Amino acid sequence: MRRIGILGGTFDPIHNGHIKLAENAFSQFPMDELWFMPAPMPPHKTGRSITDYRHRVCMVRLAIMGHAGFSCSEFESGREEKSYTAETLKELAKIYPDTAFSFILGADSFYEIESWYRPDIIFKIADLIVEDRDYDKNKGSLEKQASVLKEKYKARVGFIRAEEVDISSAHLRKMLADGKKSAEKFLPKPVVDYIKENHLYYGQS
């Protein structure tokens, strides 16, 4: 059976933290391929302007060049409505019935996943591979959260052991908008070049 890891997100922009998370997941868990899957209309990003989908796809493709086993999937590109993970996984399971899927996510999303649309479907179709880092001490440990999800949904959860890259796309957008070149050290060089060539983020504060 083929094993596919999926790392979804807005990737606005994709940064070194995303790449490191993918590298660690790919090296620590059995998978034949890892798909980065940019969301055209993420349901949790309403209320702010999102960079055009084509730009975000191009940045992902540039960021993963040279990484064997990594690819950029435009599976959600035809959606005119919000991109729900549960619906995407249902469609993937129908199209690829002989494939085992793993869904890769950060600690913040792991704590919030029960608030997502139909989390039961997510847990039924895919294993979860979670970034092992502190998020919010008030929410308890990652292991406790995993136990809750296993009890309620029979969720299959594994943790990525690695040093985190402490940066977010939102922080990088702010830094770039303010003209701070220090933001560039958190971005793959081809992505920096693309941002400059296409006049993205800089001076948009």
> 141: how many CB neighbours lie within 10 A of its CB?
11
Report the distance separating Cα 114 and Cα 148, nearest Å: 11
Q: Where are the beta strands (DSSP E) in 41-164?
A: 70-72, 99-105, 126-131, 157-160
Overall pTM surpassing 0.85 (yes/no) = yes
Q: How confident is the model at residue 185, as a pLDDT?
A: 95
Q: Which one, of 121, 110, 102, 109, lies nearest residue 147 by Cα?
A: 110
Using only the alpha carbons of the chain, give its radius of gyration: 17
User: Does domain 2-166 correspond to CATH entry 1.10.10.920?
Assistant: no
Domain spans, the chain: 2-166
Residue by residue, pLDDT tens for the chain (205 residues) are 999 999 999 999 999 999 999 999 999 999 999 999 999 987 765 557 899 999 999 999 999 999 999 999 999 997 767 889 999 999 999 999 999 999 999 988 999 999 999 999 999 999 999 998 765 555 568 999 999 999 999 999 999 987 777 789 999 999 999 999 999 999 999 999 999 999 999 877 5
Contact between 107 and 135 under an 8 Å Cβ cutoff? The reply is yes
